[in-house]
Amino acid sequence: MYAATFWSRAFPRSLFAIISISTTNMTNSNPSMSVEEGAARLRRHPKYWLDDGSLVVRTQDDLFKVHRTLLQRHSQVISSLAERVSQDESSLMDGCPTLHVPQELGVESTDFEMLLEHLYHDFPLGLDAPLSRVAAILRVSSKRQLDFPLLHRLARRELEHMVPSDPTAFYEVKHPDSMLILAVDYDVHTIQKALFYTVATHANLQHDEPESAIPGFNAPQVVESVDPDLANQFKLSPELTKRCQRLLDDLVGHFTPVLFTVATAGHMTCTDIFAEQWMPLVIQPALENSGLCRPLETLQTIIDLDWEAQGLCGECVRAKREEWREEQRAVWERLDGWLGLTSEK
């Protein structure tokens, strides 16, 4: 996953010297640190240090004074941790028990802040939430961290809503690699296919060249262009990169004979027009614009061409467009098998 700083927002924090016997407990992760040093590095959150709060929660070096019942009612993890400190007078800070979220849970202060923003209705998670907020709440509400089940389901739904389900939408989403990482890490299977397709077809990965497109047809040697800025922005683990590489090989292997096979029509006159125009109108543009690696987009381009203006009859154009749409659907369905997602649904 991305480092927490990828999602973090910079905001000013006030520093307070906190002199309390509970500080001894808070610095026990570093025995060589003095009480004064431990106190100086802790920060009361400038917003979520509530005067009427009943529980102090520490994540990393940040302190949040919030309402205990609000957190406990949604999280069994918080409830269990709070019970352990409720009877410990040495953990009191500002009159409240202090709960130190275990470091091994990996809870980031910025993620916990966004969770509180939702719980206190300052910035509730909704359809207009940016990916950074959805990702933060997805992480902190998961079972591997603080386990807020209802909120985690909401975050999953919001992530799903960010990815179109229509295979002809071509998934023009921002940060598809970040979304793919989240979808895989948290088993959001419904959007993995779209995200794998988007990343695999836009990440400037090398792909296997088919030995021949179709018998007796020599394809022009044209190097497909890519947008280096788009490709270089993707950051994936080696394992996800391998999966995207394998998917791209499957896509190219499947689509090459489709692209290089000149279309035929019900009428000979229309077939002759395809034979004359297939190279300049279909193959050449596809090779110049990475179309071989992007079958869904290339098929849509073929569908949208003004074939009537080339002299084809309306009957043949309608029939061929339906064939190309069917090929789009076939590619979309094959993605499940290529990615091994069928058994995961």
3-state secondary structure 1-64: CCCHHHHCCCCCCCCCCCCCCHHHHHCCCCCCCCHHHHHHHCEEEEEEECCCCCEEEEECCEEE
User: What value, to the nearest 5°, has the Cα angle with vertex 240 and ends 255 and 135?
Assistant: 115
Whether 182 and 305 share a structural domain: yes
What confidence score (pLDDT) does residue 165 get?
A: 75
pLDDT digits (tens, 9 = 90+) for 103-136: 999 999 999 999 999 999 999 998 789 999 999 9
Identify the weakest region by mean pLDDT among 16-30, 42-56, 141-155, 327-341. Answer: 16-30
In terms of domains, do 215 and 339 share one?
yes
Structure confidence at residue 172 as a pLDDT band (50, 70, 90): low
Is the residue at 161 inside a domain? no
Whole-angstrom CA distances from 195 to 121, 170, 199 are 31, 10, 6
Unique residue bearing structure tokens 């009537």: 308
Question: Same structural domain for residues 197 and 305?
Answer: yes
Between 158 and 342, residue with greater pLDDT: 158
109 and 185: one domain? Answer: no
Of 118, 144, 165, which marks where a domain is finished? 118
* Residue 128 located in a structural domain: no
Q: Are residues 95 and 234 in the same domain?
A: no
CATH assignment of the domain containing 34? 3.30.710
Least confident of 12-16, 196-200, 323-327: 12-16
Domain co-membership, 232 together with 339: yes
170 found inside a domain: no
Q: From 96, 118, 140, give the residue that closes a domain.
A: 118
**Confidence band for 204, pLDDT divided at 50, 70 and 90:** confident
Do residues 109 and 231 both lie within one domain?
A: no
Distance CA 246, CA 69 (A): 49
pLDDT at 253 over 50: yes
According to DSSP, residue 100 is labeled: E
pLDDT at 167: 66
Last residue of a domain, one of 118, 146, 162: 118
Residues 112 and 253 occupy one common structural domain: no
Mean pLDDT of the chain: 82
Tell me what percent of the residues of the chain surpass a pLDDT of 70: 76
Q: What are phi and psi of 9, to 5 degrees?
A: -110, 135
pTM of the prediction? 0.78
pLDDT bin (cut points 50, 70, 90) of residue 168 is low
Q: Kindly report the backbone phi and psi dihedral angles of residue 31, in degrees, each rounded to the nearest multiple of 5, phi listed first.
A: -60, -25
Query: What mean pLDDT is predicted for residues 223-245?
Result: 68
Does residue 319 lie in a domain region? yes
Reported confidence tier of residue 48, pLDDT bands at 50, 70, 90: very high
pLDDT tens digits, one per residue of 9-45: 333 333 233 323 233 344 334 444 433 344 558 899 9
Tens of pLDDT, residue by residue over 55-89, are: 999 999 999 999 999 999 999 999 999 888 876 66
pLDDT in tens, 283-310: 999 999 889 999 999 999 999 999 999 9
Name the pLDDT band for 344 (thresholds 50, 70, 90).
very low
Residue 145: both structure tokens together? 């961290």
* Distance, CA of 94 to CA of 141 (rounded, Å): 27
Cβ contact 338:246 at 8 Å: yes
CA atoms of 93 and 130, how far apart (whole Å): 35
**In-domain check, residue 169:** no
pLDDT at 126: 86
Residues 68 and 210 in one domain: no
Same structural domain for residues 101 and 189? no
Q: Domains in the chain: how many in total?
A: 2
Whether residue 222 is predicted with pLDDT greater than 50 in this model: the reply is no
| Domain assignment of residue 27, given as a range | 4-118
Q: What is the pLDDT of residue 125?
A: 93
pLDDT confidence of residue 12: 37
In a domain, residue 108? The reply is: yes
Higher model confidence: residue 171 or residue 295? Answer: 295
Q: Cβ–Cβ contacts within 10 Å for residue 342, how many? A: 11
Query: φ, ψ for residue 123 (rounded to 5)?
Result: -140, 75
Same domain, 114 and 180: no
Q: Higher confidence at residue 171 or residue 46? A: 46
Q: Out of 2-6, 289-293, 316-320, pick the least confident.
A: 2-6
Question: How many angstroms separate the CA atoms of 155 and 149, rounded?
Answer: 10
- Do strands 55-59 and 92-93 pair parallel, antiparallel, or not at all (unpaired)? unpaired
| CA distance to 20, 108, 303, per residue, from 103 (Å) | 21, 9, 55
Phi and psi torsions of 221, nearest 5°: -85, 90
Look at residue 238 and tell me if it is in a domain: yes
* Residue 322 resides in a domain: yes
pLDDT for position 84: 84
Question: Is the model's pLDDT at 2 over the cut of 80?
Answer: no
Which DSSP string do the residues of 186-226 spell out, in sequence order?
Answer: TT-GGGHHHHHHHHHHHS----PPPS-SBTTB-----PPP-
